[in-house]
């Protein structure tokens, strides 16, 4: 299992468009991928889960993945988030 904490820096947090980008990217990997905020843990391949997580600007979230391509999955998602969803 690979785990990495990242801080969401885009001003609107994770709303519909960033959630869609996360889901699209996550679905390119075979690993199980999760995002955690506080005590909530959701599947990164679920757009509804991401939107209901309520991630705002400057919120730190934990990415985790388990599977054959876990390292690549976590790094790709971390890069997307660090790049502010290409805003």
Given 15, 37, 45, 62, which residue is catalytic?
A: 15
Angle ∠(15,79,3) on CA atoms, nearest 5: 90
Strand partners, 4: 63
| Helix (H) / strand (E) containing 25 | helix 16-26
How far is the C-alpha of 28 from the C-alpha of 6, rounded, in Å?
20
| Helix (H) / strand (E) containing 9 | none
> Is 8 marked active-site?
no
Query: Annotated catalytic sites, by residue?
Result: 15
């Amino acid at each position: 299992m690979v785990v990495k904490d990242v801080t969401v820096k885009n001003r609107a947090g994770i709303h519909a468009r960033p959630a869609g980008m996360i889901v699209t990217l996550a679905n390119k990997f075979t690993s199980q991928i999760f995002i955690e905020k506080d005590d909530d843990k959701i599947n990164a391949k679920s757009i509804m889960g991401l939107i209901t997580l309520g991630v705002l600007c400057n919120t730190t979230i934990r990415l985790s993945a388990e599977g054959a391509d876990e390292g690549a999955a976590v790094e790709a998602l971390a890069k997307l988030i660090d790049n502010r969803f290409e805003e």
